[in-house]
Amino acid sequence: MDLSSYSLYFSISLLASISIGPSVILAASNGINFGRKKALAGVLGHVSAVMILALISASGLGLILMASDLAFTIIKYVGTAYLIYIGIAIWRNKGSWSFTDKGAITPQKRALYKQSLLLGLSNPKALVFFSALFPQFIQPEYAVLPQFLLLAGTSLCNAFIFTSVYVLVAFRFRQYFLSSVSQRWVGKTTGSIFVGFAAALAAN
Protein backbone atom coordinates (compact mmCIF):
# COMPACT_ATOMS: atom_id res chain seq x y z
CA MET A 1 0.00 0.00 0.00
CA ASP A 2 1.43 3.36 -0.98
CA LEU A 3 1.82 6.20 1.50
CA SER A 4 -0.83 8.45 -0.07
CA SER A 5 -3.50 5.75 0.16
CA TYR A 6 -2.63 4.99 3.76
CA SER A 7 -2.61 8.69 4.66
CA LEU A 8 -6.11 9.04 3.28
CA TYR A 9 -7.35 6.02 5.21
CA PHE A 10 -5.65 7.29 8.36
CA SER A 11 -7.42 10.64 8.00
CA ILE A 12 -10.82 8.98 7.53
CA SER A 13 -10.23 6.66 10.48
CA LEU A 14 -9.08 9.61 12.59
CA LEU A 15 -12.25 11.58 11.89
CA ALA A 16 -14.40 8.53 12.62
CA SER A 17 -12.64 8.03 15.97
CA ILE A 18 -12.93 11.69 16.99
CA SER A 19 -16.63 11.94 16.17
CA ILE A 20 -18.95 11.70 19.16
CA GLY A 21 -21.23 8.68 19.13
CA PRO A 22 -22.87 6.37 21.65
CA SER A 23 -19.62 4.59 22.58
CA VAL A 24 -17.88 7.90 23.27
CA ILE A 25 -20.77 9.17 25.41
CA LEU A 26 -20.76 5.92 27.40
CA ALA A 27 -16.98 6.07 27.85
CA ALA A 28 -17.14 9.66 29.11
CA SER A 29 -19.99 8.75 31.48
CA ASN A 30 -17.94 5.86 32.84
CA GLY A 31 -14.96 8.15 33.31
CA ILE A 32 -17.01 10.58 35.37
CA ASN A 33 -18.79 7.93 37.40
CA PHE A 34 -16.24 5.22 37.98
CA GLY A 35 -12.80 6.73 37.42
CA ARG A 36 -10.13 6.27 34.78
CA LYS A 37 -9.08 2.69 35.55
CA LYS A 38 -12.56 1.22 35.51
CA ALA A 39 -13.58 3.28 32.50
CA LEU A 40 -10.61 1.79 30.65
CA ALA A 41 -12.41 -1.57 30.72
CA GLY A 42 -15.24 0.04 28.76
CA VAL A 43 -12.74 1.49 26.29
CA LEU A 44 -11.32 -2.00 25.73
CA GLY A 45 -14.86 -3.27 25.16
CA HIS A 46 -15.35 -0.61 22.48
CA VAL A 47 -12.02 -1.48 20.82
CA SER A 48 -12.91 -5.18 20.90
CA ALA A 49 -16.17 -4.40 19.10
CA VAL A 50 -14.27 -2.45 16.44
CA MET A 51 -11.91 -5.40 15.96
CA ILE A 52 -14.76 -7.91 15.64
CA LEU A 53 -16.61 -5.74 13.12
CA ALA A 54 -13.41 -5.30 11.11
CA LEU A 55 -12.90 -9.08 11.02
CA ILE A 56 -16.52 -9.64 9.96
CA SER A 57 -16.10 -7.12 7.16
CA ALA A 58 -12.83 -8.67 6.00
CA SER A 59 -14.32 -12.16 5.96
CA GLY A 60 -16.93 -11.09 3.41
CA LEU A 61 -19.79 -11.58 5.85
CA GLY A 62 -20.13 -7.83 6.11
CA LEU A 63 -20.87 -7.55 2.40
CA ILE A 64 -23.46 -10.35 2.69
CA LEU A 65 -25.17 -8.56 5.57
CA MET A 66 -25.13 -5.29 3.64
CA ALA A 67 -26.71 -7.02 0.64
CA SER A 68 -29.46 -8.56 2.79
CA ASP A 69 -32.10 -5.97 3.67
CA LEU A 70 -33.62 -8.29 6.28
CA ALA A 71 -30.32 -9.01 8.05
CA PHE A 72 -29.32 -5.35 8.07
CA THR A 73 -32.75 -4.29 9.35
CA ILE A 74 -32.58 -6.82 12.17
CA ILE A 75 -29.13 -5.61 13.22
CA LYS A 76 -30.28 -1.99 13.03
CA TYR A 77 -33.33 -2.48 15.22
CA VAL A 78 -31.48 -4.63 17.72
CA GLY A 79 -29.02 -1.76 18.01
CA THR A 80 -31.86 0.73 18.33
CA ALA A 81 -33.45 -1.30 21.11
CA TYR A 82 -30.15 -1.55 22.98
CA LEU A 83 -29.57 2.19 22.78
CA ILE A 84 -33.05 2.82 24.14
CA TYR A 85 -32.43 0.31 26.93
CA ILE A 86 -29.23 2.10 27.99
CA GLY A 87 -30.92 5.50 27.75
CA ILE A 88 -33.82 4.41 29.95
CA ALA A 89 -31.42 2.80 32.44
CA ILE A 90 -29.44 6.03 32.77
CA TRP A 91 -32.65 8.08 33.00
CA ARG A 92 -34.33 6.01 35.71
CA ASN A 93 -31.54 4.50 37.78
CA LYS A 94 -30.23 6.61 40.65
CA GLY A 95 -27.54 4.08 41.51
CA SER A 96 -24.65 3.17 39.28
CA TRP A 97 -25.83 5.40 36.43
CA SER A 98 -25.88 8.65 38.38
CA PHE A 99 -22.79 10.59 39.36
CA THR A 100 -21.59 8.57 42.29
CA ASP A 101 -19.65 9.32 45.43
CA LYS A 102 -16.27 7.67 45.99
CA GLY A 103 -17.72 5.35 48.60
CA ALA A 104 -20.56 4.12 46.44
CA ILE A 105 -20.65 0.61 45.00
CA THR A 106 -19.56 0.62 41.36
CA PRO A 107 -19.89 -1.99 38.62
CA GLN A 108 -17.15 -4.53 38.01
CA LYS A 109 -14.75 -3.95 35.12
CA ARG A 110 -16.18 -7.03 33.39
CA ALA A 111 -19.65 -5.47 33.37
CA LEU A 112 -18.37 -2.20 31.86
CA TYR A 113 -16.40 -4.14 29.24
CA LYS A 114 -19.41 -6.24 28.27
CA GLN A 115 -21.71 -3.25 28.07
CA SER A 116 -19.38 -1.30 25.77
CA LEU A 117 -18.74 -4.40 23.66
CA LEU A 118 -22.46 -5.01 23.11
CA LEU A 119 -23.05 -1.34 22.37
CA GLY A 120 -20.31 -1.34 19.73
CA LEU A 121 -21.54 -4.55 18.12
CA SER A 122 -25.12 -3.27 17.98
CA ASN A 123 -24.20 -0.42 15.64
CA PRO A 124 -24.48 -1.56 11.99
CA LYS A 125 -22.98 1.71 10.75
CA ALA A 126 -19.55 0.52 11.87
CA LEU A 127 -20.04 -2.66 9.85
CA VAL A 128 -21.01 -0.63 6.79
CA PHE A 129 -18.03 1.65 7.38
CA PHE A 130 -15.49 -1.17 7.23
CA SER A 131 -17.24 -3.13 4.49
CA ALA A 132 -17.34 -0.06 2.26
CA LEU A 133 -13.90 1.25 3.14
CA PHE A 134 -11.60 -1.78 3.09
CA PRO A 135 -12.12 -2.62 -0.61
CA GLN A 136 -11.23 0.96 -1.52
CA PHE A 137 -7.79 0.76 0.06
CA ILE A 138 -6.68 -2.87 -0.16
CA GLN A 139 -4.67 -3.26 -3.34
CA PRO A 140 -4.98 -6.78 -4.83
CA GLU A 141 -1.53 -6.71 -6.43
CA TYR A 142 0.00 -6.82 -2.93
CA ALA A 143 -0.44 -9.34 -0.11
CA VAL A 144 -3.90 -8.80 1.38
CA LEU A 145 -3.29 -9.86 5.00
CA PRO A 146 -0.58 -7.27 5.81
CA GLN A 147 -2.74 -4.54 4.30
CA PHE A 148 -5.77 -5.63 6.34
CA LEU A 149 -3.68 -5.75 9.53
CA LEU A 150 -2.38 -2.25 8.83
CA LEU A 151 -5.85 -0.79 8.17
CA ALA A 152 -7.57 -2.58 11.04
CA GLY A 153 -4.68 -1.85 13.39
CA THR A 154 -4.88 1.83 12.53
CA SER A 155 -8.60 1.93 13.32
CA LEU A 156 -8.06 0.03 16.58
CA CYS A 157 -5.29 2.38 17.70
CA ASN A 158 -7.33 5.47 16.86
CA ALA A 159 -10.39 4.07 18.63
CA PHE A 160 -8.37 3.28 21.76
CA ILE A 161 -6.47 6.58 21.86
CA PHE A 162 -9.35 8.96 21.27
CA THR A 163 -11.92 7.11 23.37
CA SER A 164 -9.35 7.10 26.19
CA VAL A 165 -8.86 10.84 25.69
CA TYR A 166 -12.60 11.41 26.15
CA VAL A 167 -12.46 9.33 29.34
CA LEU A 168 -9.54 11.36 30.69
CA VAL A 169 -11.15 14.69 29.84
CA ALA A 170 -14.44 13.64 31.44
CA PHE A 171 -12.62 12.47 34.57
CA ARG A 172 -10.50 15.63 34.68
CA PHE A 173 -13.62 17.82 34.78
CA ARG A 174 -15.59 15.44 37.02
CA GLN A 175 -15.72 17.91 39.91
CA TYR A 176 -17.01 20.62 37.59
CA PHE A 177 -19.95 18.44 36.60
CA LEU A 178 -20.56 17.41 40.20
CA SER A 179 -20.47 20.92 41.59
CA SER A 180 -22.01 22.93 38.76
CA VAL A 181 -24.71 20.70 37.30
CA SER A 182 -27.65 18.98 38.94
CA GLN A 183 -26.92 15.25 39.06
CA ARG A 184 -30.52 14.47 38.31
CA TRP A 185 -30.59 16.54 35.14
CA VAL A 186 -27.21 15.31 33.94
CA GLY A 187 -28.47 11.73 34.16
CA LYS A 188 -31.68 12.61 32.35
CA THR A 189 -29.78 14.52 29.66
CA THR A 190 -27.36 11.64 29.08
CA GLY A 191 -30.26 9.18 28.90
CA SER A 192 -32.02 11.42 26.40
CA ILE A 193 -28.89 11.55 24.24
CA PHE A 194 -28.92 7.75 23.97
CA VAL A 195 -32.59 7.73 23.02
CA GLY A 196 -31.77 10.40 20.42
CA PHE A 197 -29.03 8.17 18.98
CA ALA A 198 -31.58 5.36 18.80
CA ALA A 199 -34.06 7.55 16.93
CA ALA A 200 -31.37 8.63 14.46
CA LEU A 201 -30.32 5.03 13.89
CA ALA A 202 -33.91 3.89 13.30
CA ALA A 203 -34.56 6.77 10.89
CA ASN A 204 -31.61 5.88 8.61
Question: What pLDDT score does 97 carry?
Answer: 43
Residue 190: Cβ-neighbour burial (10 angstroms; 0-12, 13-18, 19+): buried
pTM of the model: 0.71
Identify the pLDDT of residue 45: 93
Any idea what DSSP says for residue 68?
-
- Cβ partners under 8 Å of residue 104, min gap 6: 95, 96
Do you know the residue count of the chain? 204
CA-closest candidate to residue 155, choices 12, 3, 13: 13
Contacts of 184 by beta carbon, 8 Å cutoff, 6+ apart: 98
pLDDT number for residue 40:
92
Distances (CA, A) of 203 to 35, 128, 196, 199: 34, 16, 11, 6
Per DSSP, 155 falls in state H
Contact 157, 54 (CB under 8 A): no
Longest dimension (CA), the chain: 59
The whole-number mean pLDDT for each consecutive block of 10 residues of the chain, a chain of 204 residues, reads: 82 81 84 85 92 83 62 68 68 50 66 89 76 74 84 92 91 70 58 66 62
Q: How many of the other CB atoms lie within 10 Å of CB of 36?
A: 16
